[in-house]
Amino acid sequence: MTGETSRRNRKPDDAMKAAIAFVERINACDAEGLCELTTEDHRFVDSTGAAHVGRERMREAWLQYFAMFPDYRIAISTTFSSGERAALFGTTCATYAANGVRVEMHAAWLAVVRGKRIADWRAYADNEPARTAMRH
């Protein structure tokens, strides 16, 4: 068996399972489900580099975000994991509720998992398309 074949057949590890479950809750716009998957001291670093800390703070933030972009979805195309870290690459799409402008962008995410929960979630994207939608 070649190295490539063995990598393809490898089962997802705990970090990747947790990251994929997190994306599934995002795609369901499920703030409560997201909180269930995070540590109490969960840290979210958005694509501007701003850090938001705490499960309860993030519950409110997710509810606000899903109100602004009620059909927000992540499509994952590539994943990598090592130990407690999982990296995901793909695209996002959503419609800004205030004016109906559709936004699509390439993005990447890094999850750090502690005890099968997301302790740290970092988003990397050029948010200019979202900012433009919000200005119209």
Measure the CA–CA gap between 3 and 65, rounded to whole angstroms. Answer: 41
Global pTM reads 0.87
Tens of pLDDT, residues 62-88: 999 999 999 999 999 999 999 999 999
Is residue 29 within 8 A of residue 14, CB to CB? The reply is no
| Residue 3 domain flag | no
75: CATH: 3.10.450.50
Domain count, the chain: 1
Give 132's pLDDT tier (boundaries 50, 70, 90).
Answer: confident
